[in-house]
Amino acid sequence: MDEKIDLAHFLNQQYLCESLTIKEVRILLDYMQLVEVKGGEVIADIGEVSEALYFMVNGEAALFYDNNGKETEVGRIQLGELMGEMSFFDRQPRSVRMRAVSSEAQLLRLPRPMYLRLRVEHPYIAVNLLEHAIVSLDHLLRRVSKDVATFSHYLYGAAGKR
């Protein structure tokens, strides 16, 4: 029970729950599972269709792209961030691998069946979760756009020439 109270207080301080009451945060926790992963452990793999959303509550994970058998890191998921939302909502296979990079990480996992129940039983909470997923994807897109722009500037210089 103490663990649930600690998680509720943690979540209550995150963007995901900023417009939820502590009671609603505890309700959301009833739909989620606490998952612990060791450093290097794969959380979700390339080619899978996501059956859960993940919320990082302790530690850090990285996103890796398979570049002809060599993993290339393309992003980090840090404390308080959502992951797995693209494949979860569009039902397309993952294009990156999620791997824990801190020695131990804790995630809250929201399985698809529980999300579907949440939408029916507590639509206000589900809408907040969906809005958080949209903001999370926006942040990801902005980070990638900035990285591409920086890389392009490095390659082609300020004048746009090679």
- Written as tens digits, the pLDDT of the chain (162 aa) is 455 546 555 555 555 556 777 788 889 889 999 999 999 999 999 999 989 999 888 899 988 888 888 888 888 887 778 888 778 888 989 888 999 998 888 888 999 999 999 999 999 888 888 877 776 665 666 665 665 555 555 566 655 555
pTM, entire model: 0.75
Domain with residue 86: its CATH number is 2.60.120.10
Q: Does the residue 161 lie in any domain? A: no
Q: Does the residue 143 lie in any domain? A: yes
Residue 48 DSSP symbol:
P
Count of structural domains, the chain: 1
Q: How confident is the model at residue 95, as a pLDDT?
A: 87
Q: Does the residue 162 lie in any domain? A: no
Contacts of 45 (CB under 8 A, 6+ apart): 94, 97, 98
Q: Does the residue 17 lie in any domain? A: yes
Angle at 123 between CA 121 and CA 78, to 5 degrees: 110
Q: Does the residue 48 lie in any domain? A: yes
**Token duo for residue 61:** 């994970």
Contact 129/121 with Cβ under 8 angstroms?
no
Domain hosting residue 55, numbered range: 2-156
Q: Does the residue 125 lie in any domain? A: yes
Q: How confident is the model at residue 1, as a pLDDT?
A: 43
Q: Does the residue 64 lie in any domain? A: yes
The residue among 124, 131, 133, 136 whose CA lies nearest residue 21 is: 124
